[in-house]
Structure 1
């Protein structure tokens, strides 16, 4: 796959990254800093896809406009189906849509309540941290497990983010609490009614084929083909499924900028801009 690791397609195709997180959820950089990085790495288009939050969009807009970088409205929405955490990426939707906004406000509350329950589980194990520390880490954004991991690291309970997840916070670890349990069909409907497109995020991580077929039946518009967790085999595999069902392709770096990474790979895991063009052709305009 020429696009996934080099970041440049054959003949120097223009590049996009449609999976980026900022401080508005669990990323390290501000939306403005992400736009700066996009300019430095020569990206034509980016999408800030914070977890259950669209707060970064207005912050990134002015600078993206100044630099001539196309900022595609984005979000990564949590859902649960048959015991699996399913993440749905939304693109090109009206982020001021009232139903979507009110749902995302509700998610912010649910995420804080989830963190509180995880803090309770950690306390039972003798690992005592405060919810206030986690909310402070999130800087009034969308609270997630990386914020808990950062507090655990600050408190000397773990040496790294990866240790925090393997020891306490991962989906099979003792302090884990399920994410938002909204059915994916409802999330897809919300994105659709806000005039957007819905994509299944990183299917190669944990989504059985049978569940993927159900999600397609719920009305998915596309599949995330390029992702750091997908090798060439998985990229080709999901591309074939997308083609079989006439679905769109998407992808990106799933960039968080976490401190554990030795090297900053921003701008190196990208998709060809022509995928963005195909997405635009699928948008229904009234």
Structure 2
């Protein structure tokens, strides 16, 4: 990956940049490099067209879209925060941690990416084989719904099921065949969120807990937010469609008590989910603080 994005090489630019004047910031979007449906460049261009001034590309467990997104950001006049969304786990519950402006060549981060990629592919193959015993689904069908080099996961299996007419949409796939109680689910090893936070910190990034009100609310239910802060968590994503009003009130109170940054975002996936770019945004002061804290990678600023 091109090295001119290292924070140490361009800290003066981000420090002087007026994030208030940049425009609304959506700090959680996905491309087809993970489970979105659009190319990274198309996501950035769509963000600019939607009136956003700042966008963070946060594909699951990969940075493969950073270069294309950077080129599109320069061409579109929008600021980009390259990032990643880590998959972690508390017991059987999935917990996601967003990492912003981390060094993609950090040894710990690179090692974890390779482990996740290998495990995801093996897991997906086992699930497709099991589903294929009862439905006309093959690995080739699934590959047709992923970008070259992308790590195949359940969203790609869901898209293949939709294309074959087995289910109506992704939501139906996840509520039925791909549900963890659907009979085809294959568990996988994911790190604890504390481990994901440690990897992000070691890579000079800033960590934010993603949509903690969703996915069965394991963080809220188990009261572990304080433990994550002790592990180095920087912030929490409050303004997200998966957090209901009660969740938001509780998260805002916890963020105030624990001195956490508060973010908002769309979690955009293209046509894969109903989430719309800019439906929730992050205050400019919070964006500036994320940039100030990061030492791994610099944001891409409008030229």
Q: Do both proteins adopt the same fold according to a TM-score greater than 0.5, normalized to the shorter chain? A: yes
- Give the secondary-structure state (helix, strand or coil) at the position aligned to 2:223: helix
Conserved? CA contact 1:15–1:270, under 8 Å: yes
| Segments ≥4 residues shifted beyond 4 Å | none
Residues of 2 paired with 1:34 and 1:284: CA distance? 25
Tell me which of 264, 271, 275 is aligned to 2:282.
271
- Give the secondary-structure state (helix, strand or coil) at the position aligned to 2:224: helix
- Give the secondary-structure state (helix, strand or coil) at the position aligned to 1:78: strand
- Give the secondary-structure state (helix, strand or coil) at the position aligned to 2:270: coil
- Give the secondary-structure state (helix, strand or coil) at the position aligned to 1:199: strand
Deviating more after overlay: 23-32 vs 131-140: 131-140
- 5+ residue gaps, structure 1, are 1-10
Aligned partner of 2:268 in structure 1 is: 255
Aligned partner of 2:135 in structure 1 is: 127
Deviations 1:147-206 (CA, angstroms, capped at 9, x unpaired): 101111122211222211111112332222234422222211111110001111110012
Aligned partner of 2:13 in structure 1 is: none
1:85 paired with 2:98, answer no
Residues of 2 paired with 1:78 and 1:260: CA distance? 18
Aligned partner of 1:70 in structure 2 is: 79
Aligned partner of 2:294 in structure 1 is: 283
Aligned partner of 2:230 in structure 1 is: 217
1:30 paired with 2:39, answer yes
CA 214–172 in structure 1, closer or farther in 2 if over 3 Å, else same: farther
- Give the secondary-structure state (helix, strand or coil) at the position aligned to 1:168: coil
- 5+ residue gaps, structure 2, are 1-19, 297-303
Aligned partner of 1:230 in structure 2 is: 243
Q: How many residues align?
A: 272
Residues of 2 paired with 1:196 and 1:118: CA distance? 33
